[in-house]
């Protein structure tokens, strides 16, 4: 009899899996003539066993790592670009970098570390990079500073709790990440923070390397302290190296040194023009993020961390690594950005051609689209973006191909997009006019989530300014009334360059029982009154803890008294008591008093339908007895205690408890 062998086996199958495979081999030989069905079942089980061994790399840190939507900003986190340098058949990057996060806030706020560590399995890696936001308050711990300020009769308003001390609380939280990762059987890896673009001649300044030793705050003093360069007391990057050294098996990827050397090799002018966002010395854009991700992958390969699965050669790589456009509504045009890289090409200069199949169009400038476009490269390296769009008209899945090549090397990427037809549903919406109060106007079978303020407060309802400028299509003039909102205490803090997780204003919509709502529009008008320093990020999420937040818009250059329209089509559904939340996180570019962020016409729209179609029922006592490992809610979260009336997914089926 011919030997039976599976068509696909990963080369990292462990010893236990090998034994299991050999057992199946013998078993199949003995029963082949008796039961073909049993053979097939065992074969599927074996394939599932090997697939389960895929390794995840969880990345935790701040905005320099985070994912960004190409339609909202030119920022790109370096971990957003990391997957392209790993073989996706064996390694998945779970990027959980969070804008505004410090080691303390990421650990303490429930939407972040708790949700990451819950998904860490034995053999997974956790890359840990913090420091940028730990440096708040000039290197003082925020909670300590607040307590001290209150103890002497001062106000704690404006003190940033996220700050940690390099030699104290920062190390405490880093140890917690390491210890908890190891307790789950994971493998922690320390990554020192990327440099800031703080050039001083032919060097990077000390604080650009995350060492505040030249100027740090002293508790109880109005003067700044300083220590010689040999003193690492206020050096956050060195603190990370020191903590890693306390363990025998925690490697360090020193991106602080690697990015410093890279910036110096390019020079300040080149870095400013090509690697960093405009007027920003902290956040990389596409090219900078790609180069940093490649540095990290190279360093991991050199240290033997997943080395056999790292791609840093001449292969063409795509970021994202799949061409899945996701879901869109009929009639909607969807556009997706792909970053394409190739290093060490055989020719130092050349031209790449990007072609797409029928049904898709491609562009290099997001303006001129065609079936095929080109881009030149120099220095033997290609780092380019292309934008692919399609207009979906028929329900179902549209498939196509992106082909990339320069005549010497080429690669294809499968493209897919799913079209959803919303016809037959009932229109629903919630509108907050915000001209006189916060009361919403609700249309159709839905409910409004009451507007809430966290770290912010309502100031008043009035016009923005006598010189306010509205978009022409609104037909409004400067007298139009809006909701004006102020930071608690009235004073904006100096030095903020990103969102603060404990400062936001929230709106939302809830789906009633037995009702599904496909959300197809979120919009609002936003403005800064009194100056041109207002900034904000706007997100939506279906998790009330915002662990699944999607960035709609980042406004980092808001002219004073100018109204900005914000609109998105979020292809997302809520049902049976679920909600969609809209949050605006404001900050100001400098210390200021009395500046307000203004809102008008906050709007959430969707189409409602019956949510009970295709759902089976189960007696509550039977549902309670269901194996916990098999039960999930509609957001994919494992459920341990089901409740009557809620819908759960069990072995691929939707079940409601009765």
pLDDT at position 209 over 50 = yes
Query: Which tops the pLDDT comparison, 542 or 497?
Result: 542
Mark which of 259, 292, 325 sits at the end of a domain. Answer: 292
Same domain, 441 and 496: yes
* Per-residue burial over 56-71, b = 16 or more CB atoms within 10 Å of its CB, e = otherwise: bbbbbbbbbbbbbebe
Is 300 inside any structural domain? no
Mean pLDDT, to the nearest integer, of 306-325? 88
Structure confidence at residue 13 (pLDDT): 37
At residue 478, the 3 state secondary structure works out as coil
**Average pLDDT, whole number, for the chain?**
87
Model confidence band, residue 155 (pLDDT cutoffs 50, 70, 90): confident
Please give the Cα distance from 642 to 646 (Å, whole number). 7
Between CA 269 and CA 278, with CA 275 as vertex, the angle to 5 degrees is: 80
Structure confidence at residue 645 (pLDDT): 60
Is 454 inside any structural domain? yes
Structure confidence at residue 652 (pLDDT): 57
Structure confidence at residue 642 (pLDDT): 75
Same domain, 599 and 629: no
Please give the Cα distance from 522 to 538 (Å, whole number). 11
pLDDT at position 111 over 90 = no
Please give the Cα distance from 28 to 605 (Å, whole number). 56
HSE (CB half, 13 Å, CA atoms) of 11? 6
Mark which of 609, 629, 646 sits at the end of a domain. Answer: 609
Structure confidence at residue 92 (pLDDT): 95
At residue 30, the 3 state secondary structure works out as helix
Model pLDDT for residues 133-153, shown as the tens digit of each residue: 999 999 999 999 999 999 999
Same domain, 118 and 222: yes
Is 41 inside any structural domain? yes
For residue 188, the domain's CATH number is 3.40.50.1110
At residue 117, the 3 state secondary structure works out as helix
Point out the least confidently predicted range of 13-22, 94-103, 202-211, 645-654: 13-22
Same domain, 321 and 233: no
Q: Decide if 455 contacts 504 (C-beta within 8 A).
A: yes
Is 8 inside any structural domain? no
Mean pLDDT, to the nearest integer, of 594-601? 97
Q: Which residue has the tokens 């599932």?
A: 48
| Residues whose CB falls within 8 Å of the CB of residue 603, separated by 6 or more in sequence, listed in order | 429, 430, 431, 432, 521, 522, 523, 524
Point out the least confidently predicted range of 25-34, 153-162, 286-295, 325-334: 25-34
Same domain, 36 and 99: no
**DSSP letters for 398-426:** EEEEEEEE-SS-EEEEEEEEEEE--TT-E
HSE (CB half, 13 Å, CA atoms) of 79? 26
Structure confidence at residue 612 (pLDDT): 75
Same domain, 216 and 91: yes
Please give the Cα distance from 452 to 583 (Å, whole number). 10
Is 547 inside any structural domain? yes
**Full residue range of the structural domain in which residue 647 is found:** 616-657
Please give the Cα distance from 427 to 432 (Å, whole number). 17
**Domain count of the fold of the chain:** 5
Which residue blocks in 118-168 are alpha helix, DSSP H? 142-151
Structure confidence at residue 101 (pLDDT): 94
Same domain, 592 and 577: yes
Model confidence band, residue 644 (pLDDT cutoffs 50, 70, 90): low
Model confidence band, residue 497 (pLDDT cutoffs 50, 70, 90): confident
For residue 585, the domain's CATH number is 2.60.120
Same domain, 585 and 461: yes
Same domain, 354 and 416: yes
Tokens representing residue 38 in the block: 């049993």
pLDDT at position 29 over 50 = no
Rg for the chain, CA atoms, rounded:
27
Q: Looking at residue 15, what DSSP letter applies?
A: H
Tokens representing residue 430 in the block: 């919630």
Same domain, 45 and 63: no
pLDDT at position 647 over 80 = no
Structure confidence at residue 614 (pLDDT): 58
Please give the Cα distance from 433 to 148 (Å, whole number). 42
**Residue in 259, 254, 218, 250 with CA at minimum distance from that of residue 236:** 254
Of all residues in the chain, what percent carry a pLDDT higher than 70?
86
Model confidence band, residue 156 (pLDDT cutoffs 50, 70, 90): confident
Mark which of 51, 73, 96 sits at the end of a domain. Answer: 51
Structure confidence at residue 548 (pLDDT): 84
Is 301 inside any structural domain? no
**Residue in 65, 58, 100 with CA at minimum distance from that of residue 80:** 65
Is 310 inside any structural domain? no
Mean pLDDT, to the nearest integer, of 278-283? 90
| Three-class HEC string of 157-226 | CCCCCCCCCCCCHHHHHHHHHHHHHHHCCCEEEEECCCCCCCEECCEECHHHHCECCCCEECCCCCCEEC
Structure confidence at residue 171 (pLDDT): 98
Same domain, 372 and 410: yes
Model pLDDT for residues 224-269, shown as the tens digit of each residue: 999 999 999 999 999 999 999 999 999 999 999 999 999 999 999 9
Structure confidence at residue 18 (pLDDT): 42
| Three-class HEC string of 235-298 | EHHHHHHHHHHCCCCCCEECHHHHHHHHHHHHCHHHHHHHHECCCCCCCECHHHHHHHHHHHHH
Same domain, 463 and 588: yes
Structure confidence at residue 495 (pLDDT): 80
Structure confidence at residue 557 (pLDDT): 86
Is 303 inside any structural domain? no
Structure confidence at residue 624 (pLDDT): 67
């Amino acid at each position: 009899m011919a030997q039976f062998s599976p068509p696909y086996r990963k080369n990292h199958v462990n010893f236990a899996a090998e034994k299991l495979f050999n057992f199946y081999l013998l078993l199949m030989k003995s029963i082949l003539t008796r039961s073909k069905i049993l053979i097939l079942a065992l074969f599927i089980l074996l394939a599932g066993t090997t697939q389960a061994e895929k390794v995840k790399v969880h990345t935790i840190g701040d905005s320099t790592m985070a994912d960004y939507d190409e339609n909202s900003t030119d920022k790109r986190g370096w971990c957003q670009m990391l997957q392209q340098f790993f073989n996706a058949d064996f390694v998945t990057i779970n990027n959980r970098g969070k804008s505004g996060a410090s080691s303390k806030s990421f650990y303490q706020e429930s939407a972040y570390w708790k949700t990451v560590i819950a998904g860490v399995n034995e053999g997974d890696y956790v890359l840990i990079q913090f420091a940028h936001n730990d440096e708040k308050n000039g290197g003082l711990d925020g909670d300590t500073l607040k307590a001290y300020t209150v103890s002497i009769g001062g106000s704690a308003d404006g003190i940033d709790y996220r700050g940690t001390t390099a030699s104290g609380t920062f190390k405490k939280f880093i140890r917690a990440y390491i210890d908890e990762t190891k307790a789950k059987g994971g493998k922690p890896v320390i990554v020192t923070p990327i440099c800031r673009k703080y050039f001083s001649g032919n060097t990077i300044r000390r604080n650009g390397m995350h060492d505040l030793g030249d100027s740090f705050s002293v508790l109880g003093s109005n003067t700044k302290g300083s220590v010689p360069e040999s003193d690492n007391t206020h050096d956050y990057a060195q603190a990370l190296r020191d903590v890693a050294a306390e363990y025998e098996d925690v490697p360090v990827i020193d991106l602080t040194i690697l990015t410093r050397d890279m910036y110096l090799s390019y020079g300040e002018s080149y870095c400013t023009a090509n690697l960093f966002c405009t007027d920003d010395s902290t956040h990389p854009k596409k090219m900078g993020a790609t180069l940093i991700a490649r540095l990290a992958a190279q360093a991991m390969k050199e240290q033997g961390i997943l080395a056999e699965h790292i791609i840093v050669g001449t292969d063409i790589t795509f970021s994202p690594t799949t061409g899945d456009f996701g879901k869109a509504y009929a009639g909607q045009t969807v556009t997706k950005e792909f970053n394409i890289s190739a290093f060490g090409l055989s020719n130092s200069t050349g031209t790449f051609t990007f072609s797409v199949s029928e049904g898709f169009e491609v562009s290099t400038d997001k303006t001129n689209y065609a079936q095929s476009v080109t881009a030149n490269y120099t220095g033997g390296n290609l780092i380019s973006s292309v934008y692919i769009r399609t207009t979906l008209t028929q329900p179902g899945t549209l498939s196509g191909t992106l082909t990339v090549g320069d005549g010497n090397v080429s690669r294809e990427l499968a493209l897919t997009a799913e079209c959803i037809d919303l016809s037959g549903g009932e229109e629903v919406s919630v509108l907050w006019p915000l001209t006189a109060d916060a009361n919403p106007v609700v249309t159709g079978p839905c409910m409004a989530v009451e507007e809430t303020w966290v770290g912010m407060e309502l100031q008043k309802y009035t016009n923005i300014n006598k010189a306010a400028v509205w978009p022409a299509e609104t037909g409004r003039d400067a007298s139009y009334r809006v909701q004006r909102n102020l930071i608690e205490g009235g004073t904006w803090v100096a030095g903020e360059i990103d969102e603060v997780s404990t400062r936001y204003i929230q709106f939302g919509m809830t789906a009633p029982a037995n009702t599904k709502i496909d959300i197809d529009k979120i919009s609002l008008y936003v403005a800064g009154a009194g100056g041109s320093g207002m900034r904000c990020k706007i997100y939506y999420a279906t998790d009330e803890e915002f662990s699944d937040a999607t960035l709609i818009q980042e406004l980092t250059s808001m002219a004073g008294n100018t109204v900005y329209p914000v609109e998105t089509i979020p292809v997302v559904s809520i049902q049976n008591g679920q909600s969609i939340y809209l949050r605006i996180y404001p900050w100001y570019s400098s210390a200021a008093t009395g500046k307000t962020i203004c809102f008008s016409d906050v709007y959430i729209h969707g189409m409602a339908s019956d949510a009970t179609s295709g759902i089976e029922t189960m007696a509550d006592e039977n549902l309670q007895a269901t194996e916990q490992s098999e039960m999930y809610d509609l957001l994919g979260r494992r459920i341990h205690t089901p409740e009557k009336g809620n819908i759960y997914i069990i072995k691929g089926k939707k079940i409601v408890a009765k």
